[in-house]
């Protein structure tokens, strides 16, 4: 299985350096990964390096808790896309979901989707599956489908666990047909990556991309 085009080559550590981003981008070009997923601070730098390649610039919004306001998330999104990001991984408001504020969660994500889509960028919604009940995961599938987002994503990688095959299957079965699934968090070897793809993941967020394809 050719896994490279499934991979969002990821570097989201708070202490990541510009030099590490340069290496990340070079690796992504060499291995023909789908994107690099980086902190917003580095978007313009990555865009300059990747210009002319098929590797997209992906960045995060409302990261890692999802608890910033809708206005803040939209501002982050617009800032990112105007500096070269073509993929936005936004964290859903888990605190709002847990509070039963389902319409607020929907409108939050819909606003980000509209802002990103106006610039031709795609949106992946991170729902942090390890913090949700099965019913909440299914509720988020419905919300993400209604929001107009392009992907539902399992995890930030910053909570107590990441993607599982069972969650990928659950998400794939419960989102609308136009919504794809991104598995992220804890994908560190080729076998795990293959299992996630076979379960229905269309993208894999991992910092181990080079190891996986090598």
Using CA atoms, how far apart are residues 128 and 29, in angstroms rounded to an integer?
29
Q: How far is CA 76 from CA 31, 116, 153, in A?
A: 29, 10, 19
Buried b vs exposed e over 119-129: b needs ≥16 C-beta within 10 Å?
eebbbbbbbbb
Using CA atoms, how far apart are residues 126 and 65, in angstroms rounded to an integer?
10
Using CA atoms, how far apart are residues 8 and 55, in angstroms rounded to an integer?
9
Using left for φ > 0, alpha for ψ between -120 and 50, and beta otherwise, residue 122 falls in beta
Q: How far is CA 5 from CA 38, 55, 79, 105, 166, in A?
A: 17, 9, 26, 30, 22
**Which residues have a catalytic role annotated?**
89, 153, 182
């Amino acid at each position: 299985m050719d896994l490279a085009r499934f991979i969002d080559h990821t570097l989201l550590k708070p202490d990541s350096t510009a030099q590490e981003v340069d290496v990340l981008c070079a690796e992504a070009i060499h291995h023909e990964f789908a994107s690099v997923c980086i902190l917003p601070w580095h978007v313009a730098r990555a865009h300059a390096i990747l210009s002319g390649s098929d590797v997209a610039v992906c960045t995060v919004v409302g990261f890692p808790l999802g608890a910033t306001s809708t206005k803040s998330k939209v501002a982050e999104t617009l800032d990112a896309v105007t500096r070269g990001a073509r993929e936005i991984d936004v964290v859903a408001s888990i605190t709002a979901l847990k509070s039963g504020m389902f319409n607020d969660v929907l409108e939050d994500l819909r606003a980000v989707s509209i802002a990103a889509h106006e610039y031709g960028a795609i949106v992946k919604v991170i729902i942090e599956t390890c913090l949700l009940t099965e019913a909440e995961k299914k509720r988020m599938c419905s919300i993400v489908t209604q929001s107009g987002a392009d992907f539902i994503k399992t995890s930030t990688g910053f909570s107590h666990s990441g993607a599982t095959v069972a969650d990928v299957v659950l998400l794939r079965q419960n989102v609308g047909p136009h919504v794809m699934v991104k598995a992220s968090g804890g994908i560190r070897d080729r076998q795990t990556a293959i299992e996630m793809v076979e379960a229905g993941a269309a993208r894999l967020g991992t910092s181990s991309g080079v190891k996986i394809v090598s």
